[in-house]
Amino acid sequence: MRRIDLRAPWRWYGAGPLHLLVLVASFALAGYAAIRFVPANPVGVAAWFVGAVVCHDLVLLPLYSLLDLGAAAVLRRRPAALPSRSSVNYLRVPAVLSGLLFLVFAPLILRLPPGFEYITGRPVTPYLSHWLLVTAALFAGSAVLLAWRARPRSRRDRGLTNSSAPDAEPPAP
């Protein structure tokens, strides 16, 4: 009798079932958004999509690639006390999160919408200071994490015991 290998589809797919579920859910959400927004304003959606692709691929991608290369070059010459993991990630993560927040709230941060205060009753003034505070908190948290990882560790933290110490007696046979 032939055995059926239930793991074969996942090996073929290359990821687990949770990945597939999230992928299907994201396609369902994108499909729902397309059904809702494209019929109402197809030219506007197409223009936004083309503008977003052009802005990202021709402007933002080269810009943040150059910034990333510069940060990696600076951090490549790191002292030996820093962790062996890529230290540039401690700059990448807060920079990406801060950039995403700026992208989402750019009109309010730059005070571009002229009638925002009259329409919503909310002032535009706190957005720049709030974005700067969140950005500072993200980089400060990242610096704390880097300092935590770079701290000197005791023998016990490194997993060394007395038996592995260089001056310890060998175990009796």
pLDDT at 53: 87
What is the rounded distance in angstroms from the CA atom of residue 171 to the CA atom of residue 173?
6
DSSP H/E element including 125: none
Task: Decide if pLDDT at 52 tops 70.
Answer: yes
- Sequence-distant (≥ 6) Cβ neighbours of residue 72 within 8 angstroms: 88
Candidates 106, 98, 102; CA nearest to 140 is: 98
What is the rounded distance in angstroms from the CA atom of residue 42 to the CA atom of residue 36?
11
Candidates 62, 60, 58, 69; CA nearest to 92 is: 69
The token pair at 7 is: 């793991």
Task: Decide if pLDDT at 151 tops 70.
Answer: yes
For 141-163, what is the mean pLDDT? 75
Helix and strand element counts for the chain (H, E) = 7, 0
1-5, 57-61, 68-72, 107-111: the lowest-pLDDT one: 1-5
At 68-104, the pLDDT tens digits run 888 777 767 666 554 445 677 888 899 989 999 998 8
pLDDT at 97: 94
pLDDT at 98: 95
Domain boundaries, the chain: 81-151
Count CB neighbours of 24 within 10 A.
Answer: 10
Task: Decide if pLDDT at 168 tops 60.
Answer: no
